[in-house]
Homo-oligomer: A and B are copies of this chain.
Amino acid sequence: MDTSPTAIEKRLTTFRERCAQLGLALTPQRLAIYEVLASTGEHPGAEDIYQRLKPSIPSLSRGTVYRTLTLFESHHLVSRVHVSDEQARFDANLDDHHHLVCVRCQRVVDFQDARLDRLPFDEAAPGGFHVLGHRVHLLGLCPQCQEQV
């Protein structure tokens, strides 16, 4: 995900607009939670976000983080990523994209490749399944984990 200041700004602007449209209150907690997601490509989980914000917002509670993330997801402001078993992880990148998953450290990196966006699956769907979309997970080792092997 592009995490340049410009791209982050853009995401935040869109976020404020969408909240207004949706009639969602723009509380400091919500803004802070969204900011964390908008400015990282790390796909943090609820607990990660809670820990990152606790110092600056001491009153913040886990419940709010969970509730807010679920709310954001239901309004398609962020998406939920299921990697391995562990906790759910979140992503503010709403562009069509796929994921590289490190099988060792579980790091998740977005990547885009037009060639993977149109797969020959429509005709392939067996059993009358009606395919709406697809997700590709590339499993492998991130640079850091390659060194440690």
Contact with B along A120-139 (1 / 0, CB 8 A): 11001111111111111111
Q: Which of A12-20, A21-29, A31-39, A107-115 contacts B (4 or more CB under 8 A)?
A: A107-115
Interface size class, chain A: 35 or more
Bound-state Cα–Cα, A124 to B129, Å: 29
Assuming the contacts A85-B82, A88-B85, asked whether A133 and B139 have C-beta atoms less than 8 A apart, the reply is yes
On whether the beta carbons of B115 and A143 are closer than 8 Å, the reply is no
Task: Find out whether the CB atom of A134 lies under 8 angstroms from the CB atom of B143.
Answer: no
Q: Are B143 and A129 in contact, with the CB atoms below 8 A?
A: yes
| CB pair B111 A136 closer than 8 Å | no
Interfacial chain B residues near A131, Cβ < 8 Å: 100, 138-140
In the complex, the 5 A-B pairs of residues with the closest C-beta atoms, listed nearest first: A128-B143, A131-B140, A113-B124, A135-B137, A132-B140
Binding site for B on A (CB under 8 A): 80, 82-85, 88, 100, 102-103, 109, 111, 113, 115-116, 119-121, 124-143, 146
